[in-house]
Amino acid sequence: MNFIGITPTKPRESHSTHNLRAIGEILERKTSMAQVMEKTVQGLKHAYELRTSTPEDLIFDLFKMRDRDEASITKLIKVLKSFGLRQSDPRLRPMFQMMKRMEDEDDDARNFALSRDRFKECIHPSMPIISQALCNQMIIPSWGEFCARMKDIFDECRTIKDGHVATYIPQLARQV
């Protein structure tokens, strides 16, 4: 039988330092069981609320600013860029057009901290690609790692000067 902190190399160790530390933490807790249960109930209520919200609401909550009922569209854009999406991507054009319209209507929108309704209105037209990116379901899921690996390969191959132009390809044959 395995206990917390017992590894296969020490099968008979029953009072490991890890176990004693874990038991000590349990005994030193200052919260009552009622408080633990209350937190559990609140967590379950929150989970239920999330289940009944729209995808736009979930994204708003992801980018919601602390102690404010506004979300940062700028942070969303930074995250989308980290997934390899650019402002020039036609799938994001409706979102950027909506942002431009909001900025033209309201000079305070320049910082792009938007209320829930305005944030949802802004991202709604581009939801398919935003959802795909935030769920890490892009064709290249780890864009940053991919770019770093491609740079490493390029740097490794940069010094290779051997070989000949592939003259069987007409466009390359003209360069010779």
Distance of CA 37 to the CA centre of its chain: 30
pLDDT at position 6: 46
pLDDT at position 5: 47
Residue 128 counted as domain residue: yes
pLDDT per residue rounded down to tens, the chain (176 residues): 444 544 444 444 445 666 566 655 655 655 555 565 666 666 666 665 555 678 898 899 888 988 888 999 989 999 999 889 999 999 999 999 998 888 888 765 556 789 999 999 999 999 999 999 988 888 888 888 899 999 999 999 999 989 888 889 999 888 86
Q: Which amino acid is at 61?
A: D
Residue 1 counted as domain residue: no
In angstroms, rounded to a whole number, what is the distance separating the alpha carbons of residues 122 and 169? 47
Q: Is 113 helix (H, G, I), strand (E, B) or coil?
A: strand
Domain that holds residue 74: 55-157
pLDDT at position 163: 87
In angstroms, rounded to a whole number, what is the distance separating the alpha carbons of residues 170 and 143? 33
In angstroms, rounded to a whole number, what is the distance separating the alpha carbons of residues 38 and 43? 9
Residue 38 counted as domain residue: no
pLDDT at position 1: 47
pLDDT at position 173: 87
| Structural domain count, the chain | 1
Residue 145 counted as domain residue: yes
Residue 81 counted as domain residue: yes
Residue 9 counted as domain residue: no
Q: Is 64 helix (H, G, I), strand (E, B) or coil?
A: strand
Q: Where are the beta strands (DSSP E) in the chain?
A: 70-72, 113-115
Residue 7 counted as domain residue: no
Q: What's the whole-model pTM score? A: 0.59
Q: Are 133 and 92 in contact (CB under 8 A)?
A: no
Q: Find the CATH number of the domain harbouring 128.
A: 1.10.238.210
